[in-house]
Structure 1
Amino acid sequence: MKLWAGRFQKETDNVVNDFNSSIQFDGRLYREDITGSIAHATMLGRQGIIEEHEAEKIVAGLKEILYDIENNDLDVFNPEYEDIHMNIEVALTQRIGDTGKRLHTARSRNDQVALDMRLYVKKEICEIMQLAIDFEKVLVEKAKENLDTVMPGYTHLQRAQPTTFGHYMMAYAQMLRRDISRLEDCFERMDELPLGSGALASTTYPIDREFVRDQLGFARVTENSLDGVSDRDYCIELMSCLSMMMMHMSRLSEEVISWCSWEWRFAELDDAYSTGSSIMPQKKNPDVCELIRGKTGRVYGDLMTLMTTMKALPLAYNKDMQEDKECVFDAIDTVKQCLEVFAPMFRTMTLRKKNMRKAASQGFINATDCADYLVKKGVPFRDAYMIVGRLVNTCIRADETLETMTLKDFASISNKFGPDVYDALDLKTCVEGRSVIGGPAPKEVTRQINKIETFLADSEEQLAEMRTRLRT
């Protein structure tokens, strides 16, 4: 019999049972559900809402159920009971009798599921933050190893100006820094206890929400019971954070795919993180990067699913909100899986530094430096720009580079050029000269690295503090 069957005179149709049931995906919340119920039962006993011995019996029964589930001695995932909450309650009542029926006093499944989701999301934010921190450490490691590895920087996928691989890595490190910061912010904003909101209008029982808040490690209690049961902003905010993180991983994946192509040959993935072809024996495919690029759209879809679900829902709880779980779980699982494989793949990637340098010596990426050379000789920048443009055009016709032009060739276009132009055009000079804050000069990139390492140390301290608030 359904736990809510008193109002009904007919059994629910099996098709409706299957359609209505969420146990196939919310079963993963069993630990959060039991943890919340233990805190709730303890509070009921302390407040005299149920007898102390009844509360103790309920808590003991819940702990046994948790132990049995985690040791595969109990299967509580029965679709007949709809969701994880009712499955746990049925299992408890079967074990301890009618005392188990007292657990749901002063509580609704509405605030119960809101609690479970918040406990789950808090835990998963911590896990994703750790993976992101670990990945950022890989980027820092690569940057340190490649402070002087000159490569072309691009705009419009055209070779533009010289930079270094270390500088390139720190650009992605900045993206991950923002991702980690957003996760911290999301955690802080959603760290509120909804239990006690009831179905929508709280309860007439003298419950102690602050006690439960402390037991479950929340920073605050929700201020409004209607909002407490209907809020899924934190899920949407999390998936927005994850979507941006996936976007950053997708952009870097696209870079790696290009770098590993025969046309670029800037990098080669380790065999352990590559795949081959069933018909072309020469192939070594960056499938990991391609899958991450593809899975980014999947996480975007999860975000849009929940935003669309929530866009027209009246207060308070509506069954539509059951749809939050599958998209939240999928986004979390996908991001974790991508981070877990991306970090070691990137760490073991081999760089073809000579090819990077060769590419940097072509495409006139030191043309801006040539113009700056003239400016330092007193030529207005716009005039210098035109002069260098003529130089580049001359080089293209003669199949030369700026470095291979003779001084006579330079002088034929402007008398401002002297022998020192070759030092100004040297790629090492071009990179080291860009020493302003944010630039690719090795000394400046080292400063960027130090700042990111300080951020990572602070983030790990913050993460440790966040983990102290977890009770599951």
Structure 2
Amino acid sequence: MWGGRFDAGPDPEMFALTASIEVDIALLGADAAATKAHARVLEKAGLLTADEVTAVDGALDELVAQWRAATLFPAPGDEDVHSLVERTLTESLGETGRKIHAGRSRNDLIATDVRLYSKDAAAALGDAVRGLIGALADRAEAHTETVMPGFTHVQPAQPVSVGFHLAAHGFAFARDLSRIERAGEAADVNVLGAGALAGTTLPLDATIATKELGFASMFDNAMDAVADRDFVCDLLYATSLLGVHLSRLAEEIVLWASPAFRFARVPDQWSTGSSMMPQKRNPDMAELIRGRAAPAIGDLNSMLVLLKGLPLAYDRDMQEDKELLFRSVERALGCVQGMTAMIGGLTFDEARLAAASEDGAMWATDLAEILVSRGVPFREAHETVGRLVASLEKSGAPIDEELLLAAHTSFERGDLAATRPAQGMMARTSHGGTAPERVREQVKELRSRVAG
């Protein structure tokens, strides 16, 4: 493919170290599509005949069919997916195969292939995340009145509902969905026609390939086109932050399923046991999802470091981007699918959740706001209720109406009802709050975002 300038072929060790066919064979479908599009560009320029284009199409279709059937085996000299495709076309079509690379470079071809892959990957990831958001919305809707403790600093803070808590995760994933969609849009630019870095002297029309490949737009500057991997960074960032959000939810499932909390139970199908301890029931899927956020972040960092010192235009360093991209996408898809199944199978111990909501004086803010509503300055109300909480902690006594009335003259009989966790949860009717009607609004909003 490039040996004419050299007196000798590459050292076998160098070839083994530089070959990328084991990784970029995953782009064969995209490479075939790009080659079909380029054949039509060459036809319009008078460099291929219509019959030759038809022959190219047939040979490429056969090649892709072999690959999908797992009957395609690269030859020892296939350095990458591009050399495999060109060798195959040349072997089956002779001179027509030798014409196919006119006016293009592996530089613009690989950039095009990776863009096609990234578009498809973003679409698949988007669909998976929509499924997860839908599962969270369904479970949230079913638990708008299931009270549970809300935490800050992993300390009891205020009563919320299970539905409210699950909806909170749903909105994080909705942001992930937006990022994934934007990453797909960033990849939706045709760069086939940029050549090695400066275009071509041949009369090739890049708009033909743009239309044939279904890209929304095409490149402006050929040098930038072959050097640009921002869209890869965009998708890796989207998958890494998605991994972080999955990890946060996974951590909570691990806590909820532990005997110390006993808030929820992970279904048998998504739990494992111990090889030594018969009693163990481990939320391993949640733990692995949590753990897999680490390499997701690492792959993004690796990609940024890979690019940071590269002069324009294309550099061989970029060969390393595909392994980072492929594994990040596959990892993210698996984690989202696993989490979706776990969320659908979780069972919540409503009695345990209600009992846990009685701990930690989570009514404190509610009582302070009662005083505020009666004209007491917030700082005075805060201090008053804080003293009441401290007094109850020291005495070990539960709050009762007499203690409440003694705490401040603005308290009235009947205010004790505000200390009931369900009452506190339902009273938060402010925008985005925990009241069942507000959570149902949030569920509706989540579903609208999934629907687009």
The two structures have a TM-score, normalised by structure 2, of: 0.98
Q: Could you list the runs of 4 or more consecutive aligned residues of structure 1 that deviate by over 3 angstroms after TM superposition?
A: none
Query: Which of 392, 402, 409 is the matching residue for 1:408?
Result: 402
CA shift, 1:379, in A, is 2.3
> When the two structures are aligned, how many residues end up with a matched partner?
452
1:310-459 superposed matches below 5 A: 310-402=307-399, 405=400, 407-458=401-452
- 8 Å CA contact 1:183–1:238 kept in 2: the answer is yes
User: In structure 2, how many angstroms separate the alpha carbons of the residues matched to 1:79 and 1:116?
Assistant: 22
Query: Which of 11, 24, 45 is the matching residue for 1:26?
Result: 24
Secondary structure of 2:220 counterpart: coil
CA shift, 1:56, in A, is 2.4
CA shift, 1:140, in A, is 0.1
- 8 Å CA contact 2:40–2:208 kept in 1: the answer is no
1:101-180 superposed matches below 5 A: 101-180=98-177
1:271-310 superposed matches below 5 A: 271-310=268-307
- 8 Å CA contact 1:26–1:84 kept in 2: the answer is yes
CA shift, 1:408, in A, is 2.6
Partner of 2:56: 58
CA shift, 1:237, in A, is 0.7
Query: Which of 18, 36, 39 is the matching residue for 2:37?
Result: 39
- 8 Å CA contact 1:364–1:401 kept in 2: the answer is no
AA aligned opposite 1:417: F
RMSD (Å), alpha carbons: 1.2
User: In structure 2, how many angstroms separate the alpha carbons of the residues matched to 1:117 and 1:411?
Assistant: 69
Secondary structure of 1:223 counterpart: coil
Please give the per-residue CA displacement for 1:169-204, whole angstroms capped at 9, x wherever unaligned.
111111111111111112222211000000001111
AA aligned opposite 1:436: S
Partner of 2:3: 5
User: In structure 2, how many angstroms separate the alpha carbons of the residues matched to 1:51 and 1:147?
Assistant: 66
- The share of aligned pairs that are identical, in percent, is 36
User: For structure 1, which runs of at least 5 residues remain unmatched after alignment?
Assistant: 459-472
- 8 Å CA contact 1:362–1:401 kept in 2: the answer is no
- 8 Å CA contact 2:197–2:313 kept in 1: the answer is yes
Structure 1 residues 413 and 99, CA gap change in structure 2 (3 angstroms): closer
Secondary structure of 2:70 counterpart: coil
- 8 Å CA contact 1:42–1:56 kept in 2: the answer is no
User: In structure 2, how many angstroms separate the alpha carbons of the residues matched to 1:210 and 1:410?
Assistant: 76
Please give the per-residue CA displacement for 1:197-247, whole angstroms capped at 9, x wherever unaligned.
000011111111111111100011111100111100000011001111111
User: For structure 2, which runs of at least 5 residues remain unmatched after alignment?
Assistant: none
Please give the per-residue CA displacement for 1:41-84, whole angstroms capped at 9, x wherever unaligned.
12211321223322222222212222222233432x23522100
Please give the per-residue CA displacement for 1:293-314, whole angstroms capped at 9, x wherever unaligned.
1110101111011100100100
- 8 Å CA contact 1:22–1:322 kept in 2: the answer is yes
Please give the per-residue CA displacement for 1:416-457, whole angstroms capped at 9, x wherever unaligned.
332211222222221122111110000111111111111111
User: In structure 2, how many angstroms separate the alpha carbons of the residues matched to 1:241 and 1:72?
Assistant: 31
Partner of 1:265: 262
Query: Which of 14, 17, 20 is the matching residue for 1:16?
Result: 14
1:73-112 superposed matches below 5 A: 73-75=71-73, 77-112=74-109
- 8 Å CA contact 1:23–1:79 kept in 2: the answer is no
